[in-house]
Structure 1
C-alpha cells in the first residue's frame, strides 16, 4: 500500500546530490542512501532520488578503497534540492576559484547545501559557512576552529543554519535521512525504516555528540557533574590554559575534591587529563592543517614549539613533524590523497 505524507496526495519528489572528494568516508554515503532507498520501497514510488557528483566528473575512490562512478561534475550539476559534500578534512578543490563559486551559486539559487563529517572543511573553504554555525565531529573540531575562525563549530549531531545543513558523522547522517523520511512520509514510515536497519533510537539532531573520555570506557556525558563541568572548561581553554584551582572553583568544588573525582572517573589527575586534551588538539592541527608547529604550540597553550615537541613525542612516540610526514599531508594547493587521513570518524 502506498503511504501518503498527508491527505492531499503523495509526497513530493526530493532529489539529493552527493559531492564526493577523493578519500571520502563510504559509511557517510551509505548511511544517507540506504534509509532513503527503503523509504521508496515502503512508499511504493520514488520519493527520494540521488546522484553521485565529483568536482571534475571523474570517479571517486572512498577511504575504504571502493571506487564510485560519478554521474556528473559539479559544474554541470543541476536540479538538486540538496547537495551534500562528503570528504576527509584534508580535501581541497582542484579548481579553488570556479568550484567554490559554483557552490555559492547553487546556494543563492535555492539549493540546500550540506556537509557530512570532514566535508565541512571544503564547504568552509568555499566560503559558504562563513558566519554560520556548523556541526563538526569532535575528532576534527580543534583543527576546524583553527582553520576557520569565522565559523562556529558546535558539538551537535546535526546543525541547520539557514539553507546549510551540516552533519557530524555517518550515524548522524542516518538520523538526518530518517528525519527527511518523517517529513515526507510521516512518523510511521520513519519508524519502520529505523526498525528495518535496527537503528534503536531515533535521535534528535540537536543532541550532543558522544565524546570518549581518555582511559575510560565512558563518554563525557556520563561523567559526574563536577568532572563534566571541568572537562567543558578545559575544552574551551586550550590557547590560554587555566589553573586547576580556578577550574575547581568554577565547577563548584574544592581542588582536592576535583582531584579525587577526576582520578576515580578517569584514572588521571585533572592536570594530566588537561595536558593530554591539549596534545590531542595539537595532533588534530598537525594532521589536518598546514599550520607551523610553532603556531600549533601557541594555539594549545605551549610557550614554545620545543616544549610541545617534547610532550608530543613522549605521548605519541613521534615528533609533530614526523607525524605529519607519516600522514602524507599534501602541501597547500596540491591534489588531495586518495586515502583519507580521517581516523574513521562517524
Structure 2
C-alpha cells in the first residue's frame, strides 16, 4: 500500500502491527509508534489498532535503556499482520535464516515490512528491501553505505515506497504512526493524536533529517548557503577528497573567500571541517561494521593506515582499533553506547 494512495474515507478495519525487536533496540522508537496507536484507539472509542512484540527466539528482549520486553517468537506468530517493523541496534543481523524467510513469506501475503533507526541494517541484510530507497539516520549513514554500497540510502525522515517503509529515528517513527492513523481513521483524528502529544507537525516523506552542523552552536542554527553548498561538495564522495581550491572554483569564489566564510560560520578552516566529516564517517564504519582499518581508511580517502590512525586519534583520543574494542566491550557487558535514535 502506497502512503500516497487516496481513499474515499477512513477505514475502520482492525490494523495489526508486529514489532520485531532485537537486543539493544532503541526503546524510544518502539514507544513512539505504540503510544500514538493507543491514543487513536482511545480517542476513536474502539480498538482499531492492535500490536504484538516479536523477536527471533521469543522471550525477554532488553532494550538500549536496559528495560526488558516480553516477546513471542516471530516464526510462531501465524496471525495476520498488516505491518511488521524491525527495531534493532545497527550492529544487529538476523541470526536465523528462517526468520528472513518468514518475513518474505509475510510480504508475499500482503504484510508491509519496514524498519526504524538501526533496524534498517537487518532489513537490508536479509534481502527484504531490494531496490527500495531506505531512510537511514544520519549517524549511521556512512556505516550503512559501507555495508550496503548497492542499496539506495536517503536523508529523508521517512521513506514509504510501496510495500517497504523506513523511518530515521524516534520522532520519525511517531510520524509514521500518525500516517497509519490517518489512513485508517482520517486526517482529523491523526491531527488530534498529534496534538495530544504536542507533536506540532506531521512530517511525511518529503522532509530531510535535521543534521547537526556546528559544534557548540544553537541547535536550530543552519550553515549559511555558501558554506552548506561547500559541505555538500566535500561530502559527495568521502573516498575521493576534493581540494579546497576545487571546491572554491565550483562555487565561483576564491579559496580565501571560502576560508573566511568557513571561519565565520564554523570557527574552522574548510580543510579542517572536511577532515572532521571524514573522521565522523570513519568512526561510524569502525563502530558499526567489521571492516579492516585500511578498508575504513580508504573509504574516507586515506591511502595509508598510519596517517589515518594519526588523524583518528587526534579526533577521538584513541586509535581506530581501541575505539572498536571499547565499544565491543560495552556491548559484551550489556551496555549499548550507541544513539537510541
- TM normalised by structure 1 equals 0.92
- Structure 1 residues 253 and 13: CA distance shift in structure 2, 3 A: farther
- Structure 1 residues 338 and 19: CA distance shift in structure 2, 3 A: farther
**Which position in structure 2 is the counterpart of 1:343?**
339
Q: Is the 8 A contact 1:117 1:168 kept in 2?
A: yes
Offset from partner CA, 1:65-105 (integer Å, 9 cap, x none):
100011x211122310000000010112221x212222222
**Which position in structure 1 is the counterpart of 2:124?**
124
- Structure 1 residues 273 and 198: CA distance shift in structure 2, 3 A: same
**Which position in structure 1 is the counterpart of 2:224?**
224
1:221 and 1:132 mapped to 2: Cα distance?
32
**Which position in structure 1 is the counterpart of 2:47?**
46
**Which position in structure 1 is the counterpart of 2:274?**
274
**Which position in structure 2 is the counterpart of 1:55?**
56
**Which position in structure 2 is the counterpart of 1:146?**
146
- Structure 1 residues 182 and 221: CA distance shift in structure 2, 3 A: farther
Q: Does 10-19 or 49-58 show the bigger shift?
A: 10-19
1:132 and 1:164 mapped to 2: Cα distance?
7
- Offset at 1:205? 2.8
- Structure 1 residues 133 and 337: CA distance shift in structure 2, 3 A: farther
2:64 and 2:248 mapped to 1: Cα distance?
43
1:199 and 1:320 mapped to 2: Cα distance?
39
* Stretches of structure 1 lacking an aligned partner (at least 5 in a row): none
1:59 and 1:223 mapped to 2: Cα distance?
44
**Which position in structure 2 is the counterpart of 1:292?**
292
- Structure 1 residues 103 and 186: CA distance shift in structure 2, 3 A: same
1:301 and 1:217 mapped to 2: Cα distance?
28
**Which position in structure 2 is the counterpart of 1:323?**
323
Q: Is the 8 A contact 1:92 1:336 kept in 2?
A: no
- Structure 1 residues 310 and 83: CA distance shift in structure 2, 3 A: same
- Offset at 1:291? 0.1
Superposition pairs for residues 1-346 of structure 1, below 5 Å? 11-70=12-71, 72-78=72-78, 79-95=80-96, 97-218=97-218, 222-328=222-328, 338-344=334-340, 346=341
1:20 and 1:336 mapped to 2: Cα distance?
18
1:92 and 1:240 mapped to 2: Cα distance?
30
Question: Partner of 1:222: helix, strand, or coil?
Answer: coil
* Stretches of structure 2 lacking an aligned partner (at least 5 in a row): 1-5
Q: Is the 8 A contact 2:10 2:182 kept in 1?
A: no
Offset from partner CA, 1:143-192 (integer Å, 9 cap, x none):
00000112111100001222010110000000111111122222221111
Q: Is the 8 A contact 1:55 1:73 kept in 2?
A: yes
- Offset at 1:337? 7.5
Q: Does 201-210 or 171-180 show the bigger shift?
A: 201-210
- Offset at 1:218? 4.8
Q: CA RMSD in A?
A: 2.1
2:27 and 2:286 mapped to 1: Cα distance?
24
- Structure 1 residues 338 and 82: CA distance shift in structure 2, 3 A: farther
1:87 and 1:337 mapped to 2: Cα distance?
17
- Structure 1 residues 12 and 329: CA distance shift in structure 2, 3 A: farther
- TM normalised by structure 2 equals 0.93
Give the count of matched residue pairs: 335
